[in-house]
Structure 1
Amino acid sequence: MADIHRIHFEPVDIEMDVGEDEKILDAAFRQGIHLMHGCREGQCSACKSYILDGDIQMERYSTFACNDSEVDEGYVLLCRAHAFSDCTIELLNFDEGELLGGVPIQNVRTTVTAIEPVTHDIVSLRLQAGEPGTFEFKPGQYADLTIPGTDEHRSFSMATTPSTPDGVEFLIKKYPGGEFSGLLDSGIAVGDDIALTGPYGSFTLKEGHVLPVVCIGGGAGMAPILSLLRHMNETGSTRPVRFYYGARTPADLFYLDEIAELGKNLRDFVFVPCLSESAGPAQTESSDVEEGMVTDVVDRREADLHRCEVYLCGPPPMVDAALGLLDTRAVPKDQVFYDKFTSPTFE
C-alpha cells in the first residue's frame, strides 16, 4: 500500500491526506475539497499552485501550462502532482466559498435511455443512474464517461439539472475519428451500460451573486449553459440573463423552443443566435439573429461587460477568443467562469 502524506493548503488553512499513488487534485475530489481545476490533464494551468514545502513530483504535463522556469521556482499543476512527503502548498486560484462546498466525486453505473440527433453533428445522449440510483452535481458541471470496451474516458457537460438526478442529458458533438462520439451512430445503443465519474468543473452559478449573467456558447457548449438556464428557471432567479450562441448556419441551431420557453420566466432574458455562415432565416422567437462570430457580436452589443458575470463554454478557439475580449474589456477574472476542455477530452 502506498505511503500516505499530509497536505496543508495556504492561505485557506485546509488539510487533507494523499497517497503517493494518487494525484493531489484527485485526493481533494475524493475528500470533497473543491480545488480550482480545468482540463485535469496538465494542459490548462487552472490548478497551478506553489510549493512552499515538501517533495512533489509531476507526471507528464504541457510546458504551456507550467513552463520549466516556473517548475524550477516551485510552481506545480495539482492535476499531475504526486506528494512524496508532507507538503505545504499555496493555492493561487480558489473560491473560498466553494472550497468545502463541492460535491464529492461519484462513480455511477448508468444505462443509455435515449440517443437523439439534435443537429447533423450534435447528439443528445440521455443516461439513467443505476448504481447508485442518483447522480449529484451542480448545474454547469461535467462528468467523465468511459468509452465502452476501454479504460479511457471523455469529458462532457451535463445539460440537465439535479432536479432529475436519476436522468442526465449530455450534448455531444460528433467528430471524425472521435473515439466516443464515433460510437453514437452504431457502437452505443439504448440499454447499454456506461460508467460515469464526476462531477467536475467550476462552471456553476455562485450563491448570493446578483450581477447580470452573460452566457457565451458554441457547439456542444450549449449543454452547461442550458443547465444553468434550466436551474435559474427552476429556482426563480431574478438575475438578468443574455445568452449568445455561436453557430455556422440556421441548421446548426437547436432547442430554440425550449430556450424561448425558459426565457419567459427569466428576467430581461435575451437569446442571440450568432451565425458565422448565415444561409437563410433562423426560426427563433429571440431578438434578431446576428451574423458574425459570437465574440464579435458580444463586443458590439455588450457595453457593460465589466459589470456582468460571464460564463463561457464551447470549442477551445471560441473560449480563447472570448477570454481575449474579456481581458480587453477589463472584466475582472473573478467574474469569468469556464471549463476549458482540451484534446482528447473535448470530443
Structure 2
Amino acid sequence: MADTHRIHFEPVDIEMEVTEDEKILDAAFRQGIHLMHGCREGQCSACKSYVLDGDIQMERYSTFACNDSEVEEGYVLLCRAHSFSDCTIELLNFDEDELLGGVPIQNVRTTVRAIEAVTRDIVSLRLEAVEPSTFEFKPGQYSDLTIPGTEEHRSFSMATTQSTPGQIEFLIKKYPGGKFSGMLGGEDPRQGISVGDDIALTGPYGSFTLKDGHVLPVVCIGGGAGMAPILSLLRHMNETDCTRPVRFYYGARTGEDLFYLDEILELGKGLRDFVFVPCLSESADAVPPVLSEVETGMVTDVVDRREDELAGCEVYLCGPPPMVDAALELLDSRTVPNDQIFYDKFTSPAFD
C-alpha cells in the first residue's frame, strides 16, 4: 500500500492527506477541496503552485505550462504532482468561496437517451443518470465521459442545469478519427454508441461558473461546441431570474453552423438587456430568418469592435483553443482583471 502524507496549503490554511500513488489535485477532489484547475493534463498551468517545503515529483507535463526554470525554482502543476513527504504548498490561484464549497466529484453510471445531430459536425448527447439517479454540478462545469470499451475518457461541458438533475445534455463536436465523437451517430451502430448504452461519467470539474453575489455585466464568447457551458449559464440565469445584463457572442463558420437559436432567443426574453450576436467567419449566407442581426468576421474581432467597457464586465470563454487564446489576448489588451475572466481550456484529446 502506498504511503500517505499530509499537504498543508498556504495562504488558505487548509490541510489534507494524499497517497504517493495519487496526484495532489485528485486527492483534493476526493476530499472536497476545490483547487483551481483547467485541463488536468499538465498543459494549461491553471493549477500551478509553489512548493514551500517537501518532496514533490511530477509526471510528464508541458514545459509551456511550467518551464524548466520554474520547476527549478519550486513551481509544480498539481494535476501532475505526487507527494513523497509531508509538504507545504503555496496556492497561486484560488477562489476562497469555491475552495471548500465546490461540488464533490461523483462517479455516475448513465444511460444514453438520445443522440441528435444539431449541425453538420455537432451532436447533442443526452444521458440519464442511473446510479445514482441524480448528478450534481454547477452550471458551466464539465465532466469526464469514459470511452466505451476502454479506460480512456474525454471531457465535455454540460449544457443542462440542476432543473433536470437526472438528465444531462452534452454538445459534442465530431472530429475525423475522434475516439469518442467518432462513435456518435456513425453509419454502423455496432461500432458506435447507441441509445440504451451505458456510459460512465465522472465529475464535475471546472471553474466556469457564475459567482454568487457578483453584479457585473456578463459577456459570453463561444464557438463550436463551446455553446454547451454558455447555454447552461443562460438557462441557469433565466431559471433564477438573474438581473445581470448578458451579451453572448457566438462564433461559427456559416449560418448552417448555428443551432438552438429559438431557445437562445426565448431565454433572452427572461434576461436583462440580453444581446445575442452570431459571428460568421466564412459566409453570411443561409442565415436563419429568426435572427435580427449577424456579424461577419472572427468572433474576437467582433467583440473588439462592439465592446467598449470589457474591463467592467465578467467574461466567460469556451471554444476551440485558438479562439480562447485570441480572446485572452484581447482581454489582456483591454486590461480586464484576471479574476473577471473564466474559462476551461481543454487540450486537443479532450475535444474528440
Match of 1:93 in 2: 93
Are the aligned partners of 2:144 and 2:201 in contact in 1 as well (CA < 8 Å)?
Answer: yes
How many pairs were matched up? 347
Letter in 1 for 2:38: G
1:104 aligns with 2:104: yes
2:238 to 233, 236, 249: 233
For 2:326, give the aligned amino acid: A
Q: Which of 310, 314, 320 is the equivalent residue of 1:315?
A: 320
CA contact (8 A) 2:122 2:173 kept: yes
Query: In the alignment, is the contact (CA less than 8 A) between 1:218 and 1:247 conserved in 2?
Result: yes
- Which position in structure 2 is the counterpart of 1:47? 47
Deviations 1:36-84 (A, max 9, x none): 0000000000000000000100000001100111000000000000001
Off by >6 Å, runs of 4+ in structure 1 = none
Q: Helix, strand or coil: the match of 2:325?
A: helix
Deviation string, structure 1 residues 96-124 (Cα, Å, up to 9, x no partner): 11100101110000000000000000000
Distance 1:292 1:18, change over 3 A: same
Question: Is 2:254 the counterpart of 1:259?
Answer: no
Q: Secondary structure at the match of 1:344?
A: helix
On the 8 A contact 2:256/2:286 being kept in 1, the answer is no
Aligned-residue RMSD, C-alpha: 0.8
What's the CA shift for 1:343? Answer: 1.8
Partner of residue 142, structure 2: 142
Stretch of structure 1 that moved more, 178-187 or 315-324: 178-187
User: What is the TM-score with the length of structure 2 in the denominator?
Assistant: 0.98
Shift of the 284–34 alpha-carbon distance from structure 1 to 2, 3 Å rule, reads: farther
CA distance in 2, matches of 1:48, 1:76: 6
Distance 2:56 2:14 in 1: 18
- Distance in 2 (alpha carbons) for counterparts of 1:287 and 1:138: 31
Q: Does 1:124 align with 2:104?
A: no
Match for 1:203: what amino acid?
F
CA contact 1:272–1:287 (8 Å) conserved in 2: no
Cα distance in 2 for residues equivalent to 1:234 and 1:279: 32
Q: In the TM superposition, what is the alpha-carbon distance from 1:340 to its structure 2 partner?
A: 0.2
Contact 2:49 / 2:77 at 8 angstroms: preserved in 1? yes
- Aligned residue number for residue 202 of structure 2: 197
Cα deviation, 1:211-238, whole Å, max 9, x if unaligned, reads 0000000000000000000000000000
SS at 1:345 equivalent:
helix
Map of 1:220 onto structure 2: 225
Q: Which one-letter code corresponds to 1:75 in the other structure? A: Y
TM-score under structure 1 length normalisation = 0.99
Aligned match of 2:251: 246
Q: Distance in 2 between matches of 1:338 and 1:269?
A: 21
State whether residues 256 and 284 of structure 1, in contact with CA within 8 Å, keep that contact through their aligned partners in structure 2.
no
- Aligned-pair distance for 1:279? 3.9
Unaligned runs of 5+ in 1: none
Output the CA distance in 2 between the equivalents of 1:122 and 1:281. 18
In the alignment, the residues of structure 1 paired with residue 17 and residue 163 of structure 2 have an alpha-carbon distance, to the nearest angstrom, of 33
